[in-house]
């Protein structure tokens, strides 16, 4: 007799009943894997968004800086200290707009030869370090006002204080304004000390002296108080004249 391993199924013969259906006894097989393409991602990673935002911010900053530079380049109020016969930013920042009559301030190393009265005597005993002067004009109700601004630099603050006390006294003399010295010529005016407009200030070792008078051809209705207001406002011009020293 053959062994178990030699057994084979007998062939199907015509007339025999059909083979039993044993498919229900077979284990279920999983369906074969289906290969398909991954759809393209419709989103963007956080890093990509961060880089895009940073790029947009950089472009906005660069554009803003460029816009500021080019617009400020064309703006006359850039704070320049040039005196080209026109107003600068500081000359227009107070109560009155001032226009210089010189292309640049007059600077001298000696004060005694540019003063008179007791002030000249003072400088003979106590020389100054530098004298800077200019003349400005402004308008009040169609009245033209000429204003002298003189900046006297002394050796120290004590000497500057002594000079200021002396200049504030009536009849003590003063530093020559440029109309008096004929550097600026105004028809009908010999000096700017005759109108009564006056003010002074002490900034460290510098004394600022301001005098003002009307153009004789346009002085109707003007007052000494009005001239004093102009002088008080003109004190600020000294900073531009000396480049902010003191």
Phi, psi of 168 (to 5 degrees): -75, -10
Q: For residues 188-201, b (16+ Cβ closer than 10 Å) or e, as one string?
A: ebebbbebebbbbe
Is 122 a domain residue?
Answer: yes
Is 25 a domain residue?
Answer: no
Is 127 a domain residue?
Answer: yes
Is 60 a domain residue?
Answer: no
pTM across the whole model: 0.64
CA distance 127 to 147: 25
What's the pLDDT at 1?
Answer: 46
Ranges in the chain, pLDDT < 70: 1-50, 57, 59-61, 63-92, 244-246
What's the pLDDT at 56?
Answer: 72
Diameter over CA atoms, the chain: 158
What's the pLDDT at 76?
Answer: 34
Is 168 a domain residue?
Answer: yes
For the chain, list the strands marked E by DSSP.
Answer: 99-100, 106-108, 115-117, 130-140, 143-153, 173-175, 197-203, 206-214
What's the pLDDT at 41?
Answer: 54
Is 36 a domain residue?
Answer: no
Q: Which of 225, 37, 230, 11 is nearest to 136 (CA)?
A: 230
For residues 131 and 115, the answer to whether their CB atoms sit within 8 Å is no
Is 24 a domain residue?
Answer: no
What's the pLDDT at 195?
Answer: 84
Q: Which of 123, 202, 127 is nearest to 165 (CA)?
A: 202
Q: How far apart are the first and last CA of the chain?
A: 132
The crossing angle, in degrees rounded to 10, of helices 118-125 and 157-167 is 160
DSSP 118-166: HHHHHHHHS--SEEEEEEEEEEETTEEEEEEEEEEE-SSHHHHHHHHHH
Is 99 a domain residue?
Answer: yes
What's the pLDDT at 82?
Answer: 34
pLDDT digits (tens, 9 = 90+) for 1-58: 444 444 444 555 555 555 555 555 555 555 555 555 555 555 556 666 667 777 776 7
The total of structural domains in the chain comes to: 1
What's the pLDDT at 11?
Answer: 54
What's the pLDDT at 53?
Answer: 75
Residue 202 lies in domain: 90-241
Helix, strand or coil, per DSSP, at residue 7: coil
């Amino acid at each position: 007799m053959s062994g178990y391993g030699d057994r084979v199924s007998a062939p199907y013969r015509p007339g025999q009943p059909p083979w039993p259906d044993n498919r229900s006894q077979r284990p279920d097989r999983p369906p074969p894997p289906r290969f398909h393409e991954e759809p393209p991602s419709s989103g963007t990673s956080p890093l990509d968004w961060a880089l895009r935002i940073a790029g947009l911010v950089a472009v906005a900053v660069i554009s803003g800086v460029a816009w500021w530079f080019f617009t400020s380049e064309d703006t006359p109020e850039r704070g320049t200290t040039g005196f080209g016969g026109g107003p600068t930013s500081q000359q227009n920042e107070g109560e009155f707009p001032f226009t210089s009559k010189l292309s640049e301030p007059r600077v001298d190393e000696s004060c005694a030869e540019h003063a008179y009265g007791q002030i000249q005597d003072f400088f003979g005993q106590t020389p100054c370090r530098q004298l800077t002067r200019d003349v400005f004009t402004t308008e009040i109700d169609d009245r033209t006002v000429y204003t002298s601004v003189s900046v006297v630099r002394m050796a120290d603050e004590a000497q500057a204080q002594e000079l200021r006390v002396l200049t504030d006294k009536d009849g003590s003399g003063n530093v020559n304004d440029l109309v008096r010295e004929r550097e600026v010529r105004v028809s009908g005016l010999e000096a700017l000390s005759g109108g009564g407009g006056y003010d002074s200030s002490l900034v460290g070792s510098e004394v600022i002296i301001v005098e003002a008078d009307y153009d004789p051809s346009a002085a109707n209705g003007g007052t000494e108080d009005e001239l004093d207001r102009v002088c008080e406002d003109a004190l600020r011009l000294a900073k531009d004249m000396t480049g902010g020293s003191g």
